[in-house]
Amino acid sequence: MIFNIIAAIVIIFYIVFIFFIIRAFYSIEKEKREKKEITMNCWYCRNELIWGGDHTFEDYGIDGEGIVSNLSCPKCEADVEIYKKFDDVEEEKKKEKKNDTNKSNL
């Protein structure tokens, strides 16, 4: 009788343990899917590019507002520059975020 009770408790404990392991695994996988990093590959060798930094259009002597990102390939040593001009909508969003941040700091 006591053996049956102990066996039932062990089985229940085992089932609960497996349930929590599966749940933890799925939550880790879900977190990985949500945190997917954005990467770019080299046009020539398809190796992943390494981000070098961002600069403003002003740094490059370009009229208007925008950002220039530079990346490089560690395999074939290609350099990539990406020019992104800010639209009026994006500028407004940046201003709103900046204002919200300033308000929250007060």
- Name the residue range of residue 23's domain: 1-36
Lowest mean pLDDT among 9-13, 20-24, 42-46: 20-24
How many structural domains compose the chain? 2
Asked if residue 42 belongs to a domain, the reply is no
Instruction: Kindly report the number of other CB atoms within 10 A of residue 65's CB atom.
Output: 15
Cα-flanking dihedrals φ and ψ of residue 76, to 5°?
-105, 5
Same domain, 70 and 95: yes
Query: How far is C-alpha 52 from the geometric centre of its chain's CA atoms?
Result: 17
Residues 87, 39: Cα–Cα separation, whole Å: 23
70 DSSP β-pair partners: 53, 81
Same domain, 101 and 66: yes
Asked if residue 86 belongs to a domain, the reply is yes
Same domain, 30 and 64: no
| Closest by Cα among 36, 47, 35, 32 to 80 | 47
Same domain, 20 and 60: no
Residues 42, 73: Cα–Cα separation, whole Å: 6
**Tens-digit pLDDT profile for residues 30-79:** 776 666 667 889 999 999 999 999 999 999 998 888 999 999 999 999 99
